[in-house]
Amino acid sequence: MKRKLILAALIFLCFILQTTLFKMSSFLIVSPNLLLIISCAIGFMQGKKEGIMAGFFAGIITDLTYGRLFGRYALIYLLIGWFCGRYANIYFDEDLKVPLALISGSDLVFNLYVYLTGFLFRGRLDIGFYLKNIMLPEMIWTFLVGIVLYRILYVINHDLVEKEKEGRQSLWIRE
Amino acid sequence: MKKKLHFSIRSRHLLAVMVILCIGLMLLSFSSEKAAKPLRSGAGVVVIPFQKGVNRIGTWFSEQFAGFQSVKALSEENAELRAQVDDLTAKNSELAQMQGELNRLEALYKLDQEYPEYNKVAAEVISKDPGNWYSTFVINKGSEDGIKKDMNVLAQGGLIGIVTETGGHWATVRAIIDDTSAISAMASITSETCIVEGSLTSMNNGKIRFQGLRDPDGQVVEGASIVTSNISENYVSGLLIGYVSDISLDSNNLTKSGTLIPAADFRALREVLIITDLKQTRENED
């Protein structure tokens, strides 16, 4: 329970940062997607169910504040969380390649989804432009920020899991 | 693995349930805009104070950083007076910060004077859309401050957007450069109307598109100003949108289209003015 609350607080923090500090400069400069990194990381480190819930939570805050169609972001984030959770069985300590590949790939899928649901049907057909000016820059940004953020999340997750294990082994404070 | 004693759900089922939930929410909010309203207001109450706080810290940092750069130049010149310089620059950066604020507020005041016929309220920008696809932002005034949906928003130079949603002390504003924005506008010389559309493709060059402008005498040239039209449903008339950057005849030989440079500065978006007079339409006439 405690672990879930901490993770929820982390997602919330990412959302706050993503809408304020990372957006300080301008609309014209592409910013990284922290919510995607954290949904991916939680799915990868803890499994499908956690990924789904983390993604859903990340998406629902976006929907509640900035969404145009309620549930639109929740759906894609939870699918991404679930997808990354499928790779939880190959989660090894200290490995960065797989999670970063998952994060970058998911970011591209996420933006394609936003494009398909929000732009294509309004007749904005120039996908090459959007790919070059939004999707790829965001992917690179998310990748770079992901290197740092995933590390931090990894340490936090490690601590949480260790604490939970200790708690379980002790007879007195068993859940 | 721990053997769970309580009821446990399989991930496949959880996925199905959550996906159906999301699609259900989408259909619900698609069918009626009001359905999600109470939830959104609730979220606003929780999220907004955090965003306000973090944003203030960010502003403070960026202003400190701006001051720091001037410190650097000075200390290189006057190494022997470093102690004095340090003392002075502390004051200096404080003053620079105040001066910057003064300039911004003066510009806002000037803007207020430009449109004396409308009542306005000033507000601060507190957060922006988390993605890179839409240009919407949230301001720190809401329904309790008298802000209503469809009120027009000005920033340094001209029209910047329109209020799309309000909560207690926050309101969402859609910028005119947003891809889903379309405004009925007119050329101020000829009063011929056109449509000004935000678009991601042209926004990249800092421009927005306009189309459907009738201009048989070729009076609308580069640099001509485009303002909101008197027949617009949501925008009050005569607000400066921008200046024509290029214009060309459409293939129908009747209308012209092109791009314009928005008059408002979208880069340093910090304070905005909201026009509290709504456009008079048949529906909202009392």
- The interface residues of chain B toward chain A in range 120-139, judged by CB-CB distance below 8 A, are 126-136, 138
DSSP class of residue A88 equals G
Residues of A in contact with B50 (CB under 8 A): 12, 16
Q: Which helix (H) or strand (E) holds B141?
A: none
Comparing A58-67, A157-166, B69-78, B97-106, the range with the smallest average pLDDT is: B69-78
Residues of A in contact with B267 (CB under 8 A): 25-26, 28
Say how far apart CA A88 and CA A161 lie, in whole Å.
Answer: 14
Q: Does B203 touch chain A (CB under 8 A)?
A: yes
C-beta of residue A49 within 8 angstroms of C-beta of residue A3: no
Q: Does B205 touch chain A (CB under 8 A)?
A: no
Determine whether the interchain pair A66/B39 forms a contact, defined as Cβ–Cβ distance below 8 Å: no
Q: Which residue of A has its CA nearest to B40?
A: A64
Say how far apart CA A169 and CA B45 lie, in whole Å.
Answer: 41
How far, in Å, are B24, B106, B133, B180, B231 from residue B196 at the CA level?
35, 29, 19, 11, 13
Helix (H, G, I), strand (E, B) or coil at A110: helix
Residue of A2 and B144 predicted with greater confidence: B144
Predicted pLDDT of residue B1: 45
Determine whether the interchain pair B129/A52 forms a contact, defined as Cβ–Cβ distance below 8 Å: no
C-beta of residue A146 within 8 angstroms of C-beta of residue A108: no
Nearest Cα residue to A88 out of A74, A102, A109, A78: A102
Say how far apart CA B215 and CA A77 lie, in whole Å.
Answer: 48
Answer yes or no: is pLDDT of A119 > 90.
Answer: no
Say how far apart CA B238 and CA B118 lie, in whole Å.
Answer: 11
Say how far apart CA B128 and CA A19 lie, in whole Å.
Answer: 5
- Under the banding of pLDDT at 50, 70 and 90, the label for residue A175 is very low
Select the residue of A30, A61, A79 nearest B132 (Cβ to Cβ): A30
| Mean pLDDT (chain A, rounded) | 86
Contacts of B29 (CB under 8 A, 6+ apart): A69, A70, A71, B35, B36
Say how far apart CA A16 and CA A68 lie, in whole Å.
Answer: 19
- The interface residues of chain B toward chain A in range 22-51, judged by CB-CB distance below 8 A, are 22-26, 28-30, 35-36, 39-40, 42-44, 47, 50-51
Question: Which percentage of chain A shows pLDDT scores above 70?
Answer: 92
Helix (H, G, I), strand (E, B) or coil at B130: coil
HEC string for B175-241:
ECCCCCCEEEEEECCCCCEEEEECCHHHHCCCCEEEEEEECCCCCCCCCCEEEECCCCCCCCCCCEE
φ, ψ for residue B254 (rounded to 5)? -110, -45
Predicted pLDDT of residue A85: 92
Q: What is the DSSP string of B63-85?
A: HHHHHHHHHHHHHHHTGGGHHHH
Predicted pLDDT of residue A27: 64
Residues of B in contact with A129 (CB under 8 A): 200-201
Predicted pLDDT of residue B163: 93
Predicted pLDDT of residue B194: 92
- The interface residues of chain B toward chain A in range 84-123, judged by CB-CB distance below 8 A, are none
Task: Tell me the average confidence (pLDDT) per consecutive run of 10 residues in chain B, 286 residues long.
Answer: 60 88 84 73 80 78 70 64 72 82 80 80 89 88 90 86 90 90 89 89 83 87 89 87 91 90 81 86 59
Contacts of B3 (CB under 8 A, 6+ apart): none
Determine whether the interchain pair A28/B134 forms a contact, defined as Cβ–Cβ distance below 8 Å: no
Determine whether the interchain pair A129/B179 forms a contact, defined as Cβ–Cβ distance below 8 Å: no
Q: What is the mean predicted confidence (pLDDT) over A126-148?
A: 90
C-beta of residue B113 within 8 angstroms of C-beta of residue B154: no
**CA B40 to centroid of chain Cα atoms:** 20
Helix (H, G, I), strand (E, B) or coil at B259: strand
Predicted pLDDT of residue B69: 64
Predicted pLDDT of residue A174: 43
Say how far apart CA B49 and CA B34 lie, in whole Å.
Answer: 24
Predicted pLDDT of residue A160: 85
Residue A13 structure tokens:
């923090």
Comparing A105-119, A130-144, A153-167, the range with the smallest average pLDDT is: A153-167
